[in-house]
């Protein structure tokens, strides 16, 4: 296993500087459009501009085809947004991935989230050929090697290494629960400096996860951002729980939605309450808001939760 990487190492993207300053940060996903018109990307990004510290451009999330994460990051970076490139191992081998890392760094992208990726069978191109040359851990190790050693995986020297702040995903809510902190430790050892988690709808389970994380000292070696998001209705919550791998939604959340006069409004209220509870848990550095193609909801939730982006 590679040497452990401290969150104080690596280069200083704006996102990294905010985390190191101790600010409770806010990131959000921007769902790439099914369009080659850059204005379709800009219209979504402007809704997030005043409320988030960095924007994740998803990489064919759910194995569904959209504008590439690289394309979205290129468009937004040149407009002054702080972006997080997502790289999924599902669609590209190590040659293409390392080339993408260099290309992104050359365009000014300073953050990358390393993902294994959803299987193609759940997406809109189920006959596509999956790659999975690397997984999330070996991808972290590859980008760390490029950055810290200035070499490709082949050993060939990189003239100007990419200065990337490295991230990974984690799911505190998927069984086996006692394995999750150890999985996080493995990703940190591979190079992860920040982590964005799956949706949190079960705060007591998150508290247990963070207790174990603090006992291992992982919160001192990696910045942990908790995934949150609004539920539109009890029906959609049931569908997500049954069809989206890794999302845990307790029965009491669905019952609360069913019992409300306005399920959509109640879903946003639940999200805001979760954010407020998450802020009180020691060791958590921020939140990651996910609301698919509902960037306006993100802005409303962040403002009502009393959070806002930093101008620095």
Per residue of the chain (312 residues), give pLDDT as tens: 233 444 444 456 999 999 999 999 999 999 888 889 999 999 999 999 999 999 999 886 776 778 899 999 999 999 999 999 999 999 999 999 999 999 999 999 999 999 998 766 776 788 888 899 999 999 999 999 999 999 999 999 999 999 999 999 999 999 999 999 999 999 999 999 999 999 999 999 999 999 999 999 999 999 999 999 999 999 999 999 998 878 999 999 999 999 999 999 999 999 999 999 999 999 999 999 998 777 888 999 999 998 876 655
Phi, psi angle pair for 221, to nearest 5°: -115, -5
pLDDT at 297: 86
Chain-centroid distance of CA 55 in Å reads 9
pLDDT at 262: 96
Distance CA 247, CA 233 (A): 15
Residue with tokens 């997984």: 135
- Dump the DSSP string for 3-23: PP--TT-S---HHHHHHHHT-
Q: Where on the phi/psi map is residue 119: left (φ > 0), alpha (ψ -120 to 50), or beta?
A: beta
Distance CA 279, CA 282 (A): 8
pLDDT at 246: 85
Sequence-separated contacts (24+) of 96-103 with Cβ below 8 Å: 97/133, 97/134, 97/139, 97/142, 98/142, 98/146, 98/152, 98/153, 100/70, 101/143, 101/146, 101/162, 101/164, 102/146, 102/158, 102/162, 103/70
Going along the chain from its start, the domains and CATH numbers come out as: 23-229+285-304 (3.20.20.220)
| Cβ neighbours around 282 below 10 Å, total | 10
pLDDT at 310: 60
Distance CA 73, CA 105 (A): 10
pLDDT at 96: 96
């Amino acid at each position: 296993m590679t040497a452990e990487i401290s969150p104080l190492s690596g280069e200083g993207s704006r996102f990294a500087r905010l985390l190191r300053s101790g600010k409770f940060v806010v990131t959000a996903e921007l769902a790439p459009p099914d369009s080659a018109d850059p204005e379709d990307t800009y219209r979504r990004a402007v809704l997030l501009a005043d409320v988030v510290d960095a924007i994740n451009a998803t990489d064919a999330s759910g194995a569904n085809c959209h504008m590439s994460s690289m394309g979205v990051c290129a468009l937004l970076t040149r407009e002054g947004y702080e972006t997080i490139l997502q790289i999924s191992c599902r669609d590209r081998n190590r040659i293409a991935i390392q080339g993408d890392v260099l290309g992104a760094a050359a365009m000014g992208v300073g953050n990358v989230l390393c993902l294994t990726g959803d299987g193609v069978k759940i997406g809109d191109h189920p006959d596509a050929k999956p790659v999975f040359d690397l997984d999330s851990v070996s991808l972290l190790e590859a980008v760390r090697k490029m950055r810290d050693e200035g070499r490709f995986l082949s050993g060939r020297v990189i003239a100007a290494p990419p200065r990337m702040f490295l991230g990974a995903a984690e799911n505190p809510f998927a069984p086996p629960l006692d394995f999750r902190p150890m999985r996080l430790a493995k990703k940190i050892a591979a190079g992860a400096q920040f982590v964005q988690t799956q949706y949190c709808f079960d705060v007591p389970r998150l508290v247990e996860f963070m207790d174990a994380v603090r006992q291992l000292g992982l919160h001192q070696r990696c910045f942990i951002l908790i995934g949150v998001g609004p539920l539109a209705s009890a029906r959609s919550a049931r569908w997500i729980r049954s069809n989206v791998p890794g999302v845990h939604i307790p029965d009491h959340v669905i019952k609360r939605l069913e019992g409300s006069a306005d399920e959509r409004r109640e879903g946003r209220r639940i999200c805001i309450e979760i954010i407020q509870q998450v802020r009180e848990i020691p060791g958590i550095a921020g939140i990651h808001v996910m609301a698919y193609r509902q960037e306006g909801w993100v802005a409303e939730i962040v403002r009502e939760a009393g959070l806002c982006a930093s101008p620095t």
